[in-house]
Amino acid sequence: MSASAVWQDWSCHVRLTVTDGATLDRARRLLTDLMSDVEDAASRFVPTSDVSRVNQAAGRLVPVARRMTELVDVAMTAAGATDGLVDPTVGAHVIRAGYAQDIELVRDRLVLTGESAAPHRANWHSIQVDHELSRVGVPAGLALDLGATAKSWTADSAAHAIAALGTGVLVEIGGDVAVAGHKPTPWQIRISEQAGEPGEQVGLTSGGLATSSSAARRWRTANGSAHHIIDPRTGEPAAGPWRTATVWANSALDANIASTAAIVLGEDAAGFLAERGHPARLVGQDGHVTTVGTWPGAKQVA
C-alpha cells in the first residue's frame, strides 16, 4: 500500500510518495539527508554554505565539498545547453533585485534595494572549477546562484536513490517533480502557479515535471514589483509575456532548465520548447494558457 509524507523545507512544499509504504521512513531519511547536504553546498541563505563562501571570496578559488563541484558542473551544463539563458552567475543580480534574504522574509513586502553598483554582466564561462583540489571561484563582481538547477537535481537524485529500495516513488520539491521505479498507473499531478491554488491535473509515468513562475516568489521595490527569475542578458527580472511555464522532460532537471529558459526567452519560448520536444503549458501575464507540443491536459504526459 502506498504512503506519503508532506512537509515544508527550503521555503517550499515537499512531498514524498512511495508505492511500498514500508519504505517510507527510509525514503524520507534519504531525501532529507540529501536536501541537507545540498543546502550546505548551495544555499545563498546559509552564511557558511559553500556557495556563500565562494561568493564572499569572489576573485579567488575557494575549497569546497565535492557536492558543490558536482552542483556547479550541473549548473554549467544547463548554461551551455541553453546558450546562457539559465546562467548560474546571476547571484549578484538576484540580490540587487531585492532577493537577498529567504523568500519568506521578502515575499509580498516592500524591499529596499539600495543604490549598489550594477554587477558585471552574467558570464557562466568565467566560473572556475578545480576538480582535482575541489575548489570553485567566480570573478569579482559576480556571484553564484544555483537555484535554477540544484532543487530539480535533488528531486531527481532522491527519486532514483529511493527507487533502488524497490518501490515506485514520486518526489516533489517546490514544483519540481521527479518519478522513478515501477507504478502500474500514472502518478496524478496537479499543476498550479502557487501551492494550494486550483490547477490542472495531468498523469506522469516517467521523467519529471517542473514549473517556473514569476507569480509566487515576488516582492515590491521602489521601482515596482520584482521576482527571482533573472534574464542574464539584461541582469533584470525577466519581463516577457509568460508568468508561468510548466514543462515535461526526461528528468526534473531538464524540465526545470527548459521552464526557466522559457520564462527568460519570452515570446520565443514556444518555439524553443517545441524545437527541443518538450511538451509545455505556458500561462501569460493575463492568465491565458497556451500549450506546446503534446501537452495532454488531463491525459497521460509520457
HSE on the CB side for 230, CA within 13 Å? 27
**Where are the chain's structural domains?**
1-302
Q: Please, are residues 238 and 255 in contact by the beta-carbon 8 Å criterion? A: no
Task: Give the cell for residue 174.
Answer: 517546490
Q: Taking 60 as the threshold, does the pLDDT of residue 301 lie above it?
A: no
Exposed, middle or buried, 47 (CB in 10 Å: 0-12/13-18/19+)? exposed
For the chain, percent of residues with pLDDT exceeding 70: 93
Question: Which class is 1-302 in CATH?
Answer: alpha beta
pLDDT in tens, 204-226: 999 999 999 988 777 787 777 77
pLDDT in tens, 225-281: 777 899 999 999 989 999 999 999 999 999 999 999 999 999 999 999 999 999 999
Predicted TM-score (pTM) of this structure = 0.92
Name the pLDDT band for 56 (thresholds 50, 70, 90): very high
Alpha carbon of 246 to those of 26, 47, 78, 117, 295: distances in Å? 30, 32, 17, 34, 10
